[in-house]
Structure 1
Amino acid sequence: MAASAPVVPALPGARSASPAMIWSALAIVYVVWGSTYLAIRIVVEAQIPPMLGMASRFLAAALLLATFLALRSGAGRLKVTRRELLGSGVVGLLLLAFGNGAVAIAEQTVPSGLAALLVAAVPLWLMLLRVGGGERPRVLTWIGVLIGFAGAALLSISGGDTSAKPLSVAILVLGTISWAVGSRFSPRLGLPKDPLVATTYEMAIGGTAMVLIGVLRGEPARLHLGAVDTKGWFALAYLVVFGSLLAYTAYSYLLANAPISLIGTYAYVNPAVAVLLGWLILSEHVTTTILLGGAVVVLGVALVVTAERRPAVATTSSAAPAKGAGAPPSE
């Protein structure tokens, strides 16, 4: 689960672009999505309630994106059908309100690096959903899943060596499951064909749901704008501009121009970026257990990626496009 990216349908068109552009976009996804875990941690440490903070992030991004689309192409571009609106709403709830929201709530006690490592298990949940749908993965895929879950279990019990609370870890795991479910079924929900429009509605609906959840959690009573320091506001602005706009644009470009097996490498590069930034900037305590568990998760995901990308070698350039931005290479 990238902590900041909504699921959108792949852009139409041929997958042809310069290697420099592809790798530039991929670098943005690697670094920015990996850094959002750090930014979320800074936001919640600045006494911004998690659900209201993330709600303001996605609502602001949705407003900016909608304004841009309306000014560039006219307000008619934002018109969607009832089914498209409903599909966007479901994705917004599963990925943003429940998925990203769980990350924000958990990071009140879970270090950003550990959170990213746990989220790296999303491709493994996706594989189990595929099995539930009647698919029969390869033996190597199963090996990767078992190794990945062993790593996730190791990370889950590492809370005794950090400030992480077991309940926070459990909330985070539930969030990854929600993200996986949304990623798996988003292609069947009839999302708007225009990915920018789909993202606008996903963020608007997901952000609105976060406001409601925040109110139910009593967050407005804990929000004191005058107590929020400059770092907190800067981190929130970073999430809006870079996490919800720049990285998404780069990802949309990749979906239209790069193979999904390459795009999906973000699933195991983001955690490395998050752990490094958390250690460098927030002095987060990185234990041997966390490093070992993270390495095991990455190994498991890498095996799943290796197993699932093999059929793509035999496909032609006219193969069907990737299913969605939230889907890892196994999708």
Structure 2
Amino acid sequence: MLVGGALLALYLIWGSTYLGTKVALTAWPPFLLSATRYLLAGGVQYGVMRLSGAAAPSKQDWLRAAVVGFCLPLFGNGGTTFSQQFIPSGLAALMVATVPMFLAVLGWVSGITPKPTAKVLIGLTLGLGGMYLLASTRVAAPVLIPGYQTLGIAAVLLAAFMWSVGSLYSKKKPIGGSPFLGVGMQMLCGGFFLLIAGLLHGEADKFHVTGIGLKPWLAFAYLVSMGSWVAFSAYIWLIRVTEPALAGTYAFVNPVVAVLLGWAFAGEALNAQMAGGAALIVVAVMLVVLGGRRSSAPQPAPAGERQLGDIQD
């Protein structure tokens, strides 16, 4: 039940944050947008968890949080946000659909996860097919900085790769104690790295708080509250308790959500080929979900060990 709810949050919320990011980018430079988002979200979450009685993290926990913050918020979110200056938000969502493939292959090669089952491999293949159908029919949309599509695609693919690396590291080297305290630490570290990136990118001179309109502020609030507090926390928890390929299925569903939002709010066409791509993606997610659960079921632990594992998770 909890796993299903967390997956649903990722599917719907992160699918809509592409549109929110595009709106926010009309007023915020990319790295400072992500930096402010994660510093605010992480600072509040860390403070609330510490005030509620969570134990102080160790130096090793902060080091692990820094590694995840470097891979996920800095490269993963920062790279994707940066790319949306040059490519449509829907295309960015489609490119991020490479995450489940990176997770499955890198997890297997590194020995963190078992070899993908036949169902998972078929699901990943169908997901790629659905992604291709969506990409091949999507009408080009205006971008903030035209003429640099190759740079945008390269940035988002690097972001997907680093996101996968950080996710697998988070699974293998989890932060001790409350996972929600750990999420706050990871967001704080990532926000710090993003702030440095923004300053090195010269964004401070281009950014003026007084020039931000209502829509960008609303988009920013949505990114902080739903994109970071709810969805990012759900993702880190899922990485700890499920197979990475299962947690990564959000990347297949997000393009479907992006296409539907474009159809509902931006007047974009929704034809039979796009509907077919969405259907393939839904089937792909089902196969990865079933395959992932099947692979982890054969070796049940004794009742006492299961309870101890539940507490530790």
- Give the aligned partner of residue 50 of structure 2: 70
For the residues of structure 2 that align with 1:288 and 1:107, how far apart are their CA atoms? 27
In structure 1, what residue type is equivalent to 2:41?
A: A
Aligned to 1:124: 101
Q: What is the percent sequence identity of the aligned residues? A: 34
Q: CA RMSD, aligned part only?
A: 3.7
- Which piece of structure 1 moves more, 154-163 or 170-179? 154-163
- Aligned mates of 1:256, 1:188 — CA distance in 2: 8
Q: Give the structure-1-normalised TM-score.
A: 0.75
The Cα shift of 1:185 comes to 1.9
Match of 1:34 in 2: 15
Residues 243 and 292 of structure 2 are in contact (CA less than 8 Å); yes or no, is this contact kept in structure 1?
no
2: CA distance between counterparts of 1:190 and 1:136? 21
Q: Deviation of residue 102 (structure 1)?
A: 1.1
Q: How does 1:68-147 map to 2 (within 5 A)?
A: 68-73=48-53, 77=54, 79-133=56-110, 135-147=114-126
Residue 179 of structure 1 aligns with an amino acid whose one-letter code is W
Choose the corresponding residue for 2:160, options 159, 166, 176: 176
Q: 1:315 to 1:163 in 2, by over 3 A?
A: farther
Aligned to 2:173: 189
Determine if contact 1:114/1:275 at 8 Å carries over to the other structure.
no
2:38 aligned residue: 58
SS of equivalent residue, structure 1 residue 102: helix
Partner amino acid, structure 1, of 2:199: V
Aligned to 1:204: 188
> Does the 8 Å CA contact 1:141/1:303 hold for their aligned counterparts?
yes
Q: Which residue of structure 2 lines up, in the alignment, with residue 12 of structure 1? A: none
- Counterparts of 1:145 and 1:96 in 2: how far apart (Å)? 25
Residue 274 of structure 1 corresponds to which residue in structure 2?
Answer: 258
> Any conservation in 1 of the 2:170–2:240 contact (CA below 8 Å)?
no
What is the one-letter code of the residue matched to 2:11?
Answer: Y
| Change in CA separation of 1:30 and 1:127 when aligned onto 2, cut-off 3 Å | closer
**Structure 1 residue aligned with 2:216:** 232
C-alpha distance in 2, partners of 1:141/1:195? 27
| Distance apart, 1:159 and its partner CA | 8.3
Q: Please report how far the alpha carbon of residue 57 of structure 1 lies from its aligned counterpart in structure 2 after TM superposition.
A: 0.4
2:276 and 2:156 map into 1 onto residues whose CA distance is 19
Unpaired segments ≥5 residues, structure 1: 1-18, 325-331
Whichever residue aligns with residue 214 of structure 1, its letter is G
- Cα distance in 1 for partners of 2:274, 2:201 equals 30
1: CA distance, partners of 2:139 / 2:12: 29
Cα deviation, residue 32, structure 1: 2.1
- The CA deviation string for residues 172-216 of structure 1, in whole angstroms up to 9 with x for no partner, is 111011111111122333523321221111111100100111112
Q: Are the equivalent residues in 2 in contact too, given 1:25–1:254 (CA < 8 A)? A: yes
Structure 1 pair 297–219 and aligned structure 2 pair: CA distance change class (3 A): farther
- Provide structure 2 residue ranges, at least 5 long, that are not aligned to the other structure: 144-148
Q: Distance in 2 between matches of 1:22 and 1:100?
A: 23
Worse-matched range after superposition: 169-178 or 127-136: 127-136
| CA deviation after TM superposition for structure 1 residue 63, in Å | 1.6
Moved more, 160-169 or 208-217: 160-169
